[in-house]
Structure 1
Amino acid sequence: MLLLPCPPGATLEKSAETYFFSLDFNLAGQALPPVNPSAIVASDPRLSWGIILFDMLVLNGDRHHQNIAYDSSTQRIQILDHSHAFLRPSGDVLVTLATSDGKLGFGGHCLAQEIDTYDGFETWNNRINQIPHYFIDGVLDACAAVGLPTAHKGACADFIKKRCQELEVIVQSNLASFPKLPKAKP
């Protein structure tokens, strides 16, 4: 929906288990090398903000230099591995939502450490603010079909809808996590 560079994926049922899979964009078949986050930010600061704000929205605490791919010859970026986003299978849903409210939702995000401009922030913040509520509700319906407790679906939807509107405040309240970003927004 946000048009971020993610490999296409889907869910698959196998032996009464639901799995998520994505297409492999790594045609070389070898482990992807760690990226240089400062090269990604320098190449495309606007997209970097899209990735940072998306990871904040979905509480992805695992965007390190091996969960993003960057082809320096084409300057093509791919984000991958969202397995630590939002809720953990063994975690308490309501506790996770309560402890994440108003917080960044990520640890040492590799791009947040390098972003040094607000260029692109408004575009991506506005795009996230415009995610329709029916879309969020639909995503959580799909999540409930693969394991999210139905009783928590409403709380999750409310959390995400509220969070869409709060990302700018959360960033400004956590500027220490963006060490290269100017402290005053232009």
Structure 2
Amino acid sequence: MATGSRNQKHGVGYFDVALWGARIEDSSGGVSHLRLNAYARKNTPERPFAVANDFIASTLGLATGLPVPPGTLVGVYGGGYNYASLAFGDRGDKPPPIIPPKFCEERPWEACGIIAFDQWIHNTDRHDGNIGHLPDVAVAVFDHDLSLLNEAKSGDEALSLLAQSQDLPVKYHCLPSHLKNVSHFGEWFERINSVTRREIRRSVAAAYSAELVSAELRDAIVAFLEHRQTRIGSFVEQTRDQYQNVSSWTFDIEEVDSDS
């Protein structure tokens, strides 16, 4: 939920906050107090793990170098936590949906990164509305509430889902059929594999500390992420039939030794 009224200008999210006159509350020694535009994700009866999904996935996306808007868990009045992330948009306005063929043509590096990352976190809900692209600013990738535990309604259902999907590739994605250049995949496989076990466990442990997941589910999510982390190339290979516009496969899809 964005703060402020529709006619207020809050900047362009995390890429260019000050350019459009974000409000300065106080300034001392070069440090200013700003009011920023942000969005807050909360759990719902239909998606009781939405906050955990979005927080864990977004944190790991940042760790890989993917252009994910920075965010954090925030306590809310009455108890519990939301996931708040800085808004991305021109002068506070949400960017329009991307045009996938145009995006893949102009930003193949980011397109490969988004696909590889979504395979890691088993994100089944990537579409043109949760990728932001402002040509004069940057790219933003957001809304990861349907990754990991997806719409599981209980801890037992979430555990079962993780077990069933740990070796399943994401087969329906908005980008592969429009991608022509897959040469950047190799770099993204390495980036994902470079995220340390400590970083994975730290992000999941934060969700556990906020009582968003149980101890059993915490351990299962960590195992799920570590298992899939070195299999991204295999998942891309298993969905190779979706890359109709790729004429040359130039990346190495050998599995990376998880103990290396």
**TM-score in terms of structure 1 length:** 0.89
Comparing 38-47 with 171-180, greater Cα deviation is found at: 171-180
Match of 1:17 in 2: 80
Distance 1:177 1:103 in 2: 15
Partners in 2 of 1:125 and 1:31 — Cα distance? 30
CA RMSD of aligned residues (A): 2.0
Partner of 2:128: 65
Contact 2:204 2:218 in 1 (8 A): yes
1:79 aligned to 2:141? yes
| 2:221 corresponds to 1:156 | yes
Question: 1:120 corresponds to which letter in structure 2?
Answer: H
Aligned residues: 184
Structure number with the bigger relative contact order (C-alpha 8 A, sep ≥ 6) is 1
Match of 1:143 among 178, 198, 207: 207
**2:183 matches 1:119:** yes
Assess, with a 3 A threshold, how the Cα gap between structure 1 residues 31 and 134 changes in structure 2: closer, same or farther: closer
Q: Amino acid of the residue matched to residue 133 of structure 1?
A: R
Residue aligning to 2:169: 104
What's the CA shift for 1:49?
A: 0.9
Assess, with a 3 A threshold, how the Cα gap between structure 1 residues 25 and 184 changes in structure 2: closer, same or farther: closer
Residues 182 and 99 of structure 1, relative CA distance in 2, 3 Å threshold = farther
User: In 2, distance between residues paired with 1:9 and 1:126?
Assistant: 24
The answer on 1:7 being equivalent to 2:87 is no
Deviation at 1:2, TM superposition (A): 1.2
- Which of the pair has more CA radius of gyration? 2
Correspondence for 1:180: 245
Quick check: 35-44 or 169-178, which moved more? Answer: 169-178
Aligned counterparts of 2:181 and 2:90: Cα–Cα separation in 1: 33
| 1:181 CA displacement | 3.2
Counterpart pick for 1:44 among 104, 107, 122: 107
Determine what percentage of the aligned residue pairs are the same residue.
24
Q: CA deviation at 1:30?
A: 4.1
Unaligned residue ranges in structure 2 (runs of 5+):
1-62, 252-260
Q: Distance in 1 between matches of 2:81 and 2:180?
A: 40
